[in-house]
Amino acid sequence: MYIHEFQAKALLAQYAIPVPEGCLAADADEAIAAARTLDTDCWVVKAQIHAGGRGQAGGVRLVDSIEKVGKATERLLEERLITTQTGPEGMRVERVLVEGACEIEKELYLGVLVDRANAQVTFLASPEGGMTIEAAVGTSTGQVAQIPIDIRHNLERIDVTPVVSALGLSGALGSQAESIARGLAKAFVELDATLIEINPLVVSGQRLVAIDAKMTLDDNALARHEDLQSLREEDVTDPDRLERERHGYNYIRLDGDIATVVTGAGLALATIDLIELHGGRPANFLDLPPAATRVQIAAATRQALRNPKARVLLINAVGGGITRCDVIAEGIATAAREMEVQVPVIVRFDGTSKEMGVMLLENSRLGATLVDDFSAAVRLAVQTAAGGTV
């Protein structure tokens, strides 16, 4: 779960990481009122979207009068913001963060993430932060130090000296950096984050300030963070995600043209592998939850069919234990009543209530082709997507 900058900053502040004072605003009047509460003569107005790269795209505006705070806000709320991280369609800006602007002497980079290759929580640190560094992170330019930390130890006492040196800091700023790095490690573990990035962390006067913050939290850990669940926002720009979360299935859009609806993650992966093996390209990964209801199955099927690239729909369902093929058939038939199915549908059923499922599908007006064998069903899907007929 990606959260907004203002939310991430509020969380970091709880770990004693210094962030600028600021207020959220949904229109120009609110922004002006917010600006008035801040003791400054220079403000920064920042678009709150679930993506970075805003600075280079005009999504972060420095202004030197209250009137300009209002104007900048109007401007940002008016149009979709397109950054290198939003995709070409951009994102609508619903709110802005108004802060007192910081005087920047130096921009540093500090982040923490799970390094999957080494199975370790790892700090990323560089004395060269700012807008151009994000592209360099993860490449081998050597500019960004990677410092693994052992989270099994007492986080209050972990050795963060290598992080401080990688930031190029010493003295008073060095000790501030130490406490920021500790706070960051603690926040990362306690919040079940998968990424926290402060870019830039700036030197301003004799202080370090986190003037930007990016944070993603582990969706699978949200159940134990009741207070964080409300940070999830119904993102109107991503209806796929909304549907997926409401109905409890996993869906990942892929590049190919064979849409899939499958019972269980293991079988879903095997289905995708087999599609590739036979020379086809999956349009998605979709795994239905165990004991999915007709409504959930219908929603998942509609989702798979909404992909404009899909040229065929392959349903691979094994009725195992609590999942029954007849319920799956009802779900698919429900989806077909709710939307026009414009692609051929291939179904492979096996397991509990297979016969009932087959009968229900045969009696529906879906015109699905039923194939008994997993491999044969996949081959047929690949052939169909490539232009052969069912």
Q: Give min distance, CB of 41 to ligand GDP, in A.
A: 13
Binding segment (CB under 6 A) for ligand GDP, from list 101-109, 232-240, 248-256, 335-343: 101-109
- Are 53 and 214 in contact, with CB atoms under 8 Å apart? no
Please give the structure tokens belonging to residue 348: 């492979």
Long-range interactions of 25-31: CB distance < 8 A, separation 24+: 25/73, 25/95, 25/96, 25/97, 25/98, 26/77, 26/94, 26/95, 27/73, 27/77, 28/69, 28/70, 28/71, 28/73, 28/74, 28/77, 29/70, 31/69, 31/70, 31/72, 31/73, 31/96, 31/98
Residues 170-209 that bind ligand GDP (CB under 6 A): 199-200
Quick check: 131 binds ligand GDP (CB under 6 A)?
yes
Binding segment (CB under 5 A) for Mn ion, from list 89-97, 182-190, 206-214, 258-266: 206-214
Pairing relationship of beta strands 145-149 and 214-217 according to DSSP bridges? unpaired
Quick check: 199 binds Mn ion (CB under 5 A)?
yes
Quick check: 212 binds Mn ion (CB under 5 A)?
yes
Which residue's entry shows tokens 């179904």?
347
Binding segment (CB under 6 A) for ligand GDP, from list 100-108, 217-225, 262-270, 272-280: 100-108
Q: Which residues are catalytic?
A: 109, 197
In which element (H, E) is residue 3 found? strand 2-3
How many Å apart are CA 257 and CA 310, to the nearest integer?
A: 4
Per-residue x/- track, 153-192, Mn ion (CB under 5 A)? ----------------------------------------
The residues, ordered by sequence, that sit 6+ positions from 33 with a Cβ below 8 Å of its Cβ are: 25
The residues, ordered by sequence, that sit 6+ positions from 273 with a Cβ below 8 Å of its Cβ are: none
Q: Which does 130 bind (CB under 5 to 8 A by kind): ligand GDP, Mn ion, none?
A: ligand GDP
- Are 281 and 254 in contact, with CB atoms under 8 Å apart? yes
Cβ proximity to ligand GDP, 64 vs 150, nearer residue: 64
Binding segment (CB under 6 A) for ligand GDP, from list 102-110, 218-226, 244-252, 265-273: 102-110
Quick check: 101 binds ligand GDP (CB under 6 A)?
yes
Residues 50-69 that bind ligand GDP (CB under 6 A): 52-55, 60, 62
Interface ranges with ligand GDP (CB under 6 A)? 44, 46, 52-55, 60, 62, 101-102, 104, 107, 130-131, 199-200, 211-212
Q: Which residues bind Mn ion (CB under 5 A)?
A: 199, 212
